[in-house]
Amino acid sequence: MWGHIMTNRRNFLGMAGSAVLAGNGLLMPKSVWSAITSLGPAGLPQGALDESMLAILPGKQALIKRTSRPPNYETPVEGLGDMFTPNGKFFVRWHLSVIPEIARDDWRLRIAGPSAGTEMALRYDELRRLPAVEVIAVNMCAGNRRGLSDPHVAGVEWGHGAMGNARWRGARLKDILHLARIRSDAIEVVFHGEDRGVIPQTPQFIKSLPIWKALDEHTILAYEMNGEPLPMHNGFPVRLIVPGWAGTYWMKQISEITVLPRAYDGFWMKTAYRIPTGKFPGLVRFQSQDTPNATSTPITELVVNSLITNLQDGQSIPYGQPLTVRGVAWDGGHGIAKVEVSIDGGRNWRPASMGRDYGNYSWRQWQFPFQPAQRGQYDIAVRAVGKKGETQSPVLIWNPAGYHNNVPHRVRPQVV
């Protein structure tokens, strides 16, 4: 299932001249990979850059390997410019290494718990018979850009590409919970995935949501992504979609839901995926997971952010040739009000043109016309402003897990 072909910077040029088929992985010709010139931004730890490789997983195009066990692969920045990230380009993120292959007809979703009035199970075909909805939303790993933390922190050393924007189709979670006749004392809804650790002592990946977020009309159990069945690497046959919130809550291969009248007490809630209390004011709080005098609180919604997708550091631009700088901007579901671009390293900012608005949970494309007035290096930066008035932080808000890095993205092309 997880076979692949990989190449790092040392052997890529020697191998990429022709297609190679090995197992379930395909190494594409150099002509296909010629646009991929970087395995990550310069701020990544050198060791992470040296170990990073271009890889093709089954059903995927070339992605950047950050770890192979469990599989964590990010989308090259130039692959993030589409309005909807193609399934083949969409990043891959798993927490545990043992990932089963689940046949659609064998899948079952069990719903139970003290606050579920009716214990029940749903088959795949029964889930698809429920009213279907489509949500357009950014799925982003909480640790996206972790590798740019200074000083560096532990964890997967992601660059910019642990995210994507897609059309997700499925059934509303609240409709499923209604079938289970949830009680009025319900506080949290707990979700179990099917991936497992190599050793029994590894905590099973289990997450919870506050009842209000579980009942939100945009929270769904998805079986389709961009009009196709979910890819195996992105949670087939069914995954949880929690628009506006960090990807840690977007459980893959979901198999069990437990409705509780209390806070769930498990490693992936009480220990992992937490941020220092008060470090990011203005974000919604997961109050039942807070404790008195706690120094940390669960990460929840995404912060406002943006990205340049068609330029890279050191890229050569012909002098006198007009250029359109392009990219995307997003936040935690309130919507993007405007995007601004600087060509002088942040001293002066000018508005960019905004693309079509596909909803507050989707990213917005933007573009900015650029006519280089002279040769030499340019320092181009982008920042977004959300509809709540919040903007990106001019300096890194450092935290031990490397979350919420929303410093304006900068690239330094060379006009020649």
Q: How many domains does the chain have?
A: 3
Task: Using the 3D structure, point to which of 248, 275, 298 is the last residue of a domain.
Answer: 298
Query: pLDDT per residue over 215-264, tens digit each?
Result: 999 999 999 999 999 999 999 999 999 999 999 999 999 999 999 999 99
Residue 98 inside a domain? The answer is no
Are residue 154 and residue 85 in the same domain, yes or no? no
CATH number, domain of 137, equals 3.90.420.10
Are residue 36 and residue 154 in the same domain, yes or no? no
Residue 173: strand, helix, or coil? helix
Residue 56 inside a domain? The answer is yes
Tell how many helices (H) and how many strands (E) occur in the chain. Answer: 7, 30
Separation between Cα atoms, residue 324 and residue 31, nearest integer Å: 24
> CA distances (Å), 28 to each of 7, 17, 33, 62, 387, in order?
11, 9, 7, 8, 42
What pLDDT is attached to residue 9? 41
Range with the lowest mean pLDDT among 3-12, 57-66, 243-252? Answer: 3-12
Query: pLDDT per residue over 133-183, tens digit each?
Result: 999 999 999 999 999 999 999 999 999 999 999 999 999 999 999 999 999
DSSP letter for 344, please: B
Residue 99 inside a domain? The answer is no
What pLDDT is attached to residue 38? 76
Are residue 87 and residue 110 in the same domain, yes or no? no
Beta bridge partners of 139: 164
Are residue 228 and residue 344 in the same domain, yes or no? no
Backbone angles phi, psi at 232, to 5 degrees: -55, -40
Query: pLDDT per residue over 260-284, tens digit each?
Result: 999 999 999 999 999 999 999 999 9
Are residue 143 and residue 278 in the same domain, yes or no? yes
Range of the domain at 227: 104-298
Residue 285 inside a domain? The answer is yes
Task: Using the 3D structure, point to which of 264, 298, 332 is the last residue of a domain.
Answer: 298
Cα 70–chain centre separation:
16
pLDDT at 10 over 90: no
Are residue 259 and residue 391 in the same domain, yes or no? no
What pLDDT is attached to residue 73? 97
Cα 288–chain centre separation:
25
pTM of the model: 0.91
| 25 band by pLDDT with thresholds 50, 70 and 90 | very low
> CA distances (Å), 242 to each of 40, 110, 220, 318, 407, in order?
27, 19, 7, 43, 24
Are residue 31 and residue 151 in the same domain, yes or no? no
Amino acid, single-letter form, for residue 407:
V
Are residue 277 and residue 396 in the same domain, yes or no? no
Task: Using the 3D structure, point to which of 256, 281, 298 is the last residue of a domain.
Answer: 298
Are residue 324 and residue 400 in the same domain, yes or no? yes
pLDDT at 23 over 50: no
Are residue 225 and residue 166 in the same domain, yes or no? yes
